Chains A and B, each alone.
Chain A
Amino acid sequence: MDLGVSASALVPASIAVPLAGAALMAGFSRLMPRWARDLSAIAIALATTTMTLILMAASAGRPMIYWFSGWRPSAGMAIGIDYAVGPLGAGMASLAGVLASAALVYCWRYFDSARGRHHALVLIFLAGSVDFCLTGDLFNLFVALELVAVTAFALTGYNAGYPAPLQGAINFAVTNSLGGMTVLMGVGFLYARTGSLNLAQIGQALTGRHADGLVVAAFALLTGGFLVKAAIVPFHFWLPDAYGSAPIPVCVLFAGVMSELGLFAVMRLWVTVFSGLAGGSGPRMRAVLLGFGILTAVVGAVMALAQLHLKRMLAFVTMSHLGIYLIGVGLLTPLGLAGASLLVIGDGLAKSALFLGVGVVQHQRASVSETKLRGRGRGLAVTGGTLVLGALVLADLPPFVSSAGHALLVDAADQAGLPWMETVIALSVIAASGAVLRAAARIWLGWGDTEISRTDPGTADDPGEEAEDRADTPVAERAQGSQEPSGQQRRVPLTMMLPPLALLAIGLGLGLTSGIADHAAAAAAAFSDRAAYAMAVLGTHSGSMPPGGRIVVPVSPVASAGGVLTDLGQVLAALCVAGIALDRRALRFRRALAVGTGWLRRLHSGLVGDQVTWLAAGLALLAALGEWALH
């Protein structure tokens, strides 16, 4: 298929279209009726998604390089800024597009009081994410990071009439701005050393050199900054505060794609810049990244089990998954990266569907507290089904696409000689999924105790539970809160009911696509091919490009049957966790567990001073570990 000329114009169009739409929507929202704002925002998001999907297909063979303003490199020196489009980056961008579209459909009539500015912010967020995934320039990556961050801060605080969203937005903004600053310092260090801002050229300049103090500091500052965005322990404290209090449609964007961008950047930097350093730092760097990943996966899962506030629970589930993705990419093999990519897509779709489902519950029952909602799920059967199915997908229910990702990840861990990693991943996944299933069982089946005393361990009081500033929820109705009249329930609008189902259907469809694992593996191999990347960008080496080394995905029927059994085992185990969490006889056990984890919950104080202290400590730790790994 020849997409040559037309596809190259799509590269700038994939950011120009959403940005132009956002600018016009922000500038002329007074002139547009509400339906026109909604429709055009959805159309723009869908168009952007389509463009990135075409780019993903077109860049499958070799990276597409696009030099803005036409400044091609001369004599191996980059002059302008390039986009280096690969299937992995474009795929990530299209995931952002899908989630933005779903969020915009869902918030049909939602954000009326914001007069179109909310649509503009979502579209700018999308454009920033696309830039993030495609750019080949280190400083442009920083700009993309800040663009995504600034829109995200504003969107988080949308319900500005309540304390929790305000505090969440402040914690988010302060910690992530500091992360941005460390990234910029790292950019400065690398520029001073290599004289370039282009990723490929920086990587070439460092190839074969031994890491000295400056390179180690640059590594720690850059990686640390992006790990703040990726919410990896101990940089993660802002995430539950922000995700737990942001409006539902915004949570969809956050949970599905925003933090994953941080991990994407860490990998982009490792592959193009730091992996060429002399001294064979790979194995030790793997240990460092895996350590952070395991810690995050476990902490997130434990904290998810301790939540009764549904959005905050999903926030910790998201965090646990980020740890698992870091395990995948931290293996530093293409297979691990492929597995993580499929998991990002599969889990991202499922988590977004879960957030949207919780949004329906909140809209109908004016609460997101698991205990306050106990037994009040009647009449919301479709949403209940959505939540349960989403939770099972989190436990890698086959044939959804996350199951394929899980299989690849396990294979990658085995190949790396770390078979025990499978257990760590399984335990985190089971706990996270079990937490959501417990909530669903309590809400729709009325299981568990009637009243949870304040001292009941293992469950946090729900902080900042409140209604949202919705256009279609009159103040009076909201003030009544929990005691809504049962006779005159509002119908769930289709625009709220369908998007979560559509997201789950996409996950199912991708899982049923034959060869999806091979595609992911090929994309990951292309992403990891450092030499081909540098050659494509800088064009220094003459001759044709050698084909990138394809990795063979092991597809023995026995292995895949085993994988399916493992996944089903995980699903069963998650159901058991939910059962135990609600069973009266297991109260003692829960109490013991809660005493053991109470200190962890107390660390999540929600105070920005604590969070920044941990951030500084994390940076220092990362620098020490980087010194050990790179030197």
Chain B
Amino acid sequence: MSRRVRLMLFAVAAAGLAATLGVGLAGLPSFGAQITDYARMLNEMAPRQRHVTDVVSAITFDYRGIDTLFEEFILLAAVAGISVLLRPLSDEIRQLPRDKAPERSIPPPSPAVWLLAAFLSSLLVLTGLETVTHGTLTPGGGFQGGVILASALYVVYLGTNYVTVERFQPDALLEASDGVGASGYILIGLLGLLAGAHFLSNVVGLGATGSPISGGTIPLLNLVVGAEVAGGFAILASEFLDQTAVIRTRRR
């Protein structure tokens, strides 16, 4: 198909698609009028049944916890997949760039930048941990907090140069964090089976509503998800950075 023909066909198709969506959207209840009985019930029951104040967390990790298990593995699969796609291929090698003109080398990052990076990243680590651990109380949780934790590593990249980071990067630790986090979710799920209930049943003591340790397995699941997401996103960043920094085509 030429681009012209493609555009013409698309114009017709898009009109049909828009009409389909329009008809469907027109059938929705008017915007903001009501929420479903299911949602109303969960809003009412979750704080009482699960001693949480953030109902989204209770749904994500308890009522619909199995969705989140698979969601976590979508992320794990993406990370593993990207490591596969961006691995050094048979005609490539990993090689740290060598400075060919040492007398005209780039000056190292100034102490001020370095200090700022250290400060910012420790702030990010704190914020990340806070977000991971307070998922049952306020918006946030393992996913959000994990991403913040990983971003602390990005700031270190920015503040130093990549070669330094590459030398000290705890690759094995990040991978282990990724894997332990994901398998931890399943182990916590098995607690339910061991207690004679169902997979992912919330069998741990629920604690007092509003206290940091409440909600039974929900904070535990937040922790393992936080570990997995932090490790996964850090691996993602390093895989992409490796492509420009250290992976070279082998010389023939």
Contact = CB atoms under 8 A, between A and B. Distances in A.
Q: Does a CB–CB distance below 8 Å link A and B in the complex?
A: yes
Interface of A: 9, 11-12, 16, 19-20, 22-30, 66-71, 77, 79-81, 113-115, 117-118, 120-121, 124, 127-128, 131, 137, 139-140, 143-144, 146-147, 150-151, 153-155, 157-158, 160-161, 185, 189, 191-193, 195-196, 212-218, 220-221, 469, 475, 603, 605, 607, 609-610, 613-614, 616-617, 619-621, 623-624
B63 A143 contact: no
A543 B196 CA distance: 27
- Overall SS of chain B's interface: helix
Contacts of A150: 74, 77-78, 81
B54 interface: no
Contact of A196 (B15, B38, B87, B91): B38
A414 to B, nearest CB: 36
Contact of A117 (B27, B62, B71, B80): B80
B240 interface: no
Report which residue of B26, B38, B86, B89 has the largest number of chain A beta carbons within 10 angstroms of its beta carbon: B38
A68 B89 contact: no
B112 interface: no
Contact of A68 (B20, B86, B178, B198): B198
Interface in B181-206: 181-183, 186-187, 189-190, 192-193, 197-202
B29 A192 contact: yes
B62, B80, B192, B201 — which one has the most chain A CB atoms within 10 A of its CB?
A: B80
A185 B23 CA distance: 13
B80 A189 contact: no
B63 A124 contact: no
A153 to B, nearest CB: 7
B12 interface: yes
Contact of A70 (B6, B23, B39, B198): B198
A195 B42 CA distance: 12
A218 B21 CA distance: 9
Contacts of A215: 27
A141 to B, nearest CB: 10
A147 B17 contact: no
B107 interface: no
A331 B197 CA distance: 41
A140 B29 contact: no
Contacts of A214: 23-24, 26-28
Given A114-B87, A154-B85, A24 B183 contact: yes
B186 A23 contact: yes
B83 interface: yes
27 contacts: A19-B182, A23-B181, A23-B183, A26-B79, A68-B199, A79-B38, A80-B63, A113-B89, A114-B84, A115-B87, A120-B77, A146-B74, A150-B74, A150-B78, A150-B81, A192-B36, A217-B23, A221-B20, A469-B90, A603-B1, A613-B13, A617-B9, A619-B17, A620-B19, A621-B16, A623-B17, A624-B16
B70 A128 contact: yes
A473 to B, nearest CB: 9
Nearest to B70: A143
Interface string B199-231: 111100000000000000000000000000000
A5 to B, nearest CB: 10
Contact of A20 (B28, B81, B90, B183): B183
B140 interface: no
A265 to B, nearest CB: 15
Contact of A616 (B13, B25, B91, B178): B13
Interface string B64-104: 11110111011011111111111101110000000000000
Contacts of A70: 192, 197-198, 201
Given A213-B27, A469-B90, 15 more contacts: A20-B187, A22-B182, A23-B76, A23-B186, A26-B79, A117-B84, A120-B76, A124-B80, A143-B67, A146-B74, A214-B24, A214-B26, A609-B6, A610-B6, A621-B16
A69 B78 contact: no
B36 A12 contact: no
B186 A77 contact: no
Contacts of B201: 69-70
A153 B6 contact: no
Given A68-B200, A217-B21, A19 B73 contact: yes
A27 B186 CA distance: 14
Q: Please give me the 10 A-B residue pairs with the lowest Cβ-Cβ distance, nearest first.
A: A27-B179, A154-B81, A620-B16, A214-B27, A217-B24, A12-B199, A195-B36, A213-B23, A23-B182, A617-B13
Given A80-B63, A214-B24, A16 B190 contact: yes
A124 B29 contact: no
Given A124-B76, A150-B78, A195-B38, A158 B63 contact: no
Contacts of B158: none
B122 to A, nearest CB: 26
B165 interface: no
B190 A154 contact: no
A23 B28 contact: no
A84 B64 CA distance: 16
Contacts of B237: none
B20 A217 contact: yes
A213 B22 CA distance: 9
A69 B202 contact: yes
A157 B85 CA distance: 7
- Interface core residue of B9, B20, B65 (most chain A CB under 10 Å): B20
Contacts of A68: 65-66, 198-200
B27 A71 contact: no
A113 B64 CA distance: 37
Contact of A161 (B89, B178, B183, B200): B89
B119 interface: no
B76 to A, nearest CB: 6
Given A147-B70, A469-B89, A121 B186 contact: no
A217 B83 contact: no
A140 B63 contact: no
A195 B29 CA distance: 12
A19 B186 contact: yes
A140 B67 contact: yes
Contacts of A155: 81
A616 B190 contact: no
Contacts of B74: 143, 146-147, 150
A583 to B, nearest CB: 34
B180 A22 contact: no
Task: Name the residue among B25, B37, B180 with the largest chain A CB count within 10 angstroms.
Answer: B25
Contact of A140 (B21, B66, B176): B66
B77 to A, nearest CB: 5
Contacts of A121: 77, 80-81, 84
A357 B202 CA distance: 49
A209 to B, nearest CB: 12
A161 B86 CA distance: 10
